[in-house]
Amino acid sequence: MVQLFRRQAASTPDRVALVAGAERLTYAELDAAADRLATRLAAAGAGPGALVGICAAKSAACVTAMLAVLRTGAAYLPLDPGHPAARVELVLTDSGAHLLLTDGDPVTTAVPVIRLDEEHPPAPPFPAVPPDPAAPAYVIYTSGSTGRPKGVVVPHRALANLLTGMRALAGSSEDDVWLSAASLTFDMSVPELYLPLVTGGRLVLLDPKAAILGKRLAALIEREGVTHMQATPSGWRVLLYAGFRDPKLTALIGGEALPAALARELRPRVGRLVNMYGPTEAAVWATSWEVPPEPETISIGDPLPGASVHVVDDRLNEVTQGELAIGGVGVASGYLGRPALTAERFVPDPYGEPGSRLYLTGDVVRRTGAGLEFLRRADTQVKVRGYRVELGEVEAAMDALPGVRQSVAAVSGDALVAFVVGDCPDLRGRLAEVLPSYMVPTRVVPLDSLPLTPNGKIDRRALEETL
């Protein structure tokens, strides 16, 4: 990433690189700002082996900070200033961060703090020392099954592979404008931030809070001439409800399973629709599928360049239906400070080069003629009155009913509950026509909309807390 951006800045110094509200920076200005901050960071101890926290609103200063940290050879740790202070403190402590960059009041006194809103003195170009490909580029924390968040360590080689692979996939060039709508703590933000900056395009920042305002978002896309945008299925629904249509837009969708009904509704409203799949542990995206004009079934497609995918059983033997395992250059280094968990999920790759590893995703998939088909999470199986129930199967049946726009199934005690957006008379009766009786929800909760997490995914915990 460091070399790719510097090469682009030298090639197109006067081209606008970044738009953040009324602020616009050329490639030369962004490059110089990153040099100034990198000099300050290096003097404070940032360098290879160090981790620098960035707790700031999405802004030009924040993007500059990410570039500057990478330039020193350190890795960055994005933190959301909107999260509870105790959560930020927990992540900082767990990560062992050496420095904290912030644009507000420091959330901790445990590490040295540098304010992003301070003026940094002019500095000569920061020495261009290529980072070790195996060295960490960034660490993103995800929720843990034990309640303790875990940091995923992504190396430079995985980041560079993601960008070079997606450059061809998305057709990103100097004429393109990318909208960055995801929270910086959501790994989906990585390609939308960096891909335009290494291909000579323009990066337009959007406050994640504004991403839920469909008409405002649609107006920004039109005003800035956005050509590429990523969003979760929930995020694209926000735009569709606002009447969005742009036949020039390349739409990338991921982060959640793509419902066939949404694919059929969205596809004719955009120029291209690409279904993306990948966990944080495989550097954001590992597979892709170009959605056809009239999709019938949904696939997560085939591996991106540099990635390999295997459908395996418990002994890592290839099967037609089983757990998806991801190998290749994009596999993360592991979980920060969690060797046992790393060894459990990142295993030796029997199909790759000596020393290579597979990441076991926990996703159950099936091989088809169109590529991989996502079926469910391996851990979404529940029991209702002694019967095994896959919540994804119940949700798929509800989503297929006329009038249902979105649905979520959950368990409360021994009862199956349905949260439904839309209007489907006699929903339980219609489900009884296609599902066994024990899979028909005993309670239906109508909603105007489903709650979303800061990353734009359905907030299942918030739904369950209403029961």
Q: How far apart are CA 173 and CA 120, in angstroms?
A: 32
C-alpha 140: how far from chain center? 10
- Are 371 and 300 in contact by the 8 Å Cβ rule? The answer is yes
What phi, psi does 186 have (nearest 5°)?
-100, 125
Q: Is 90 exceeded by the pLDDT of residue 66?
A: yes
Q: Is the same domain home to 272 and 385? A: no
Task: Place 43 in a pLDDT band, splitting at 50, 70 and 90.
Answer: very high
Among the three residues 290, 323, 347, which one is the final residue of a domain in this structure?
290
- Mean model confidence pLDDT for the chain: 90
Q: What pLDDT shows up at residue 359?
A: 97
Q: Is 80 exceeded by the pLDDT of residue 317?
A: yes
CB atoms within 10 A of CB 141: 22
- Are 92 and 83 in contact by the 8 Å Cβ rule? The answer is no
Q: Is the same domain home to 218 and 113? A: yes
Helix 156-170 and helix 2-11, axial crossing angle in degrees, nearest 10: 50
The per-residue pLDDT for range 110-147, each reduced to its tens digit, is 788 999 988 777 777 888 778 899 999 999 988 654 54
* Count of domains for the chain: 2
Q: Is the same domain home to 414 and 277? A: no
The per-residue pLDDT for range 243-293, each reduced to its tens digit, is 999 999 999 999 888 989 899 999 999 999 999 999 999 999 999 999 999
Q: Is the same domain home to 83 and 199? A: yes
Residue among 279, 346, 354, 338 at smallest CA distance from 316: 346
Q: What pLDDT shows up at residue 13?
A: 96
The per-residue pLDDT for range 396-433, each reduced to its tens digit, is 889 989 999 999 998 887 789 999 999 999 999 999 88
Parent domain of 214: 2-290
The 3-state DSSP class for residue 250 equals strand
Write the CATH number for 138. Answer: 3.40.50.12780
Residue 315 lies in a domain: no
Among the three residues 268, 290, 312, which one is the final residue of a domain in this structure?
290
The 3-state DSSP class for residue 272 equals strand
Q: What pLDDT shows up at residue 408?
A: 92
Among the three residues 244, 263, 290, which one is the final residue of a domain in this structure?
290
The per-residue pLDDT for range 206-219, each reduced to its tens digit, is 876 665 678 888 98
Q: Is the same domain home to 282 and 391? A: no
Residue among 206, 220, 205, 202 at smallest CA distance from 16: 202
Residue 280 lies in a domain: yes
Write the CATH number for 410. Answer: 3.30.300.30
pTM: 0.84
| Terminal C-alpha separation, the chain | 46
Task: Place 349 in a pLDDT band, splitting at 50, 70 and 90.
Answer: very high
